[in-house]
Structure 1
Amino acid sequence: MASRRAPVHFELYAEGPYLHRTRADLAPGNPTRSYRSTAPVRVIGEIDDWQGHPPEQVETMLANLRRLREAGAAPIID
């Protein structure tokens, strides 16, 4: 069995303009934040105390994605 490495989270600084959207804008029930930029970004630090979503919230997000998929929607939009 392969060991799982803990996720690493970084604090970034945008060198130029960026677009901030939440996934809830695109897929209701999924609060993941999404940032888009054509400008470079700098890593300015590592976040050591990041807390993931509680299991109940993850299950709600997955259920919403399943419901959208079953309805023929494309829940992930890039």
Structure 2
Amino acid sequence: MSQLDDGPFYHGTKADLQVGDLLTAGFRSNYRPEIVMNHIYFTALPDGAGLAAEIAPGDGAPRVYRVEPTGPFENDPNVTDKKFPGNPTRSYRSSAPLRIVAEVTDWTRLTPEALQMWQERLETIRTERGEIIN
């Protein structure tokens, strides 16, 4: 099987993590908190991870980490082809852990207006029960 993307890869969160920590599946979805996810999600775009960090639940500061998959991964079916032809967001998921290799600080923060727009979109997804492929 050919590699989907050579990376580097990124994960956005509000968790304060250290190099060497492992990110694993089994946590609640940022988009539908009643769903426990079977995969850990990541992207090859630092600003995409930054968006995920900004909209993640919790009170911590949004953080972006460079990560390495420890096992096989696939295109994220929640955005690939279903919402965007191909994979322009370079979004992936894995049931295997991701290892943190560095914290990234030079990603683009959302403006307060953009953050509010994304929070409103998330609330619409939550109330309309948009499908999540788990």
**TM-score, structure 2 length as denominator?**
0.35
Give unmatched runs, 5+ long, in structure 2: 1-58, 84-88
The Cα of 1:12 is off from its aligned counterpart by 0.3
1:1-78 pair list within 5 angstroms: 5-21=60-76, 25=79, 35-68=92-125, 69=127, 73-75=128-130, 77=132, 78=134
What residue identity is the alignment partner of 2:73? Y
Hey, what's the Cα distance between the residues in 2 that align with 1:33 and 1:52? 19
Give unmatched runs, 5+ long, in structure 1: none
From the two aligned structures, give the one with the greater helix fraction: 1
**TM-score, structure 1 length as denominator?**
0.52
- Identity, in percent, stands at 30
> Over alpha carbons, which structure has the higher Rg?
1
What residue identity is the alignment partner of 1:36? R
Instruction: Give aligned pairs, total.
Output: 66
Question: For the Cα contact (< 8 Å) 1:65–1:75, is it kept in 2?
Answer: no
1:56 is paired with a residue of what secondary structure?
Answer: helix
Residue 47 of structure 2: aligned partner: none
Hey, what's the Cα distance between the residues in 2 that align with 1:6 and 1:55? 14
Question: For the Cα contact (< 8 Å) 1:22–1:33, is it kept in 2?
Answer: no
What residue identity is the alignment partner of 2:76? R
Q: What's the CA shift string for 1:22-66, capped at 9, x where partnerless? A: 86x3xx8xxx98642112321111112233222222222223334
- Structure 1 range deviating more: 42-51 or 55-64: 55-64
The Cα of 1:15 is off from its aligned counterpart by 2.1
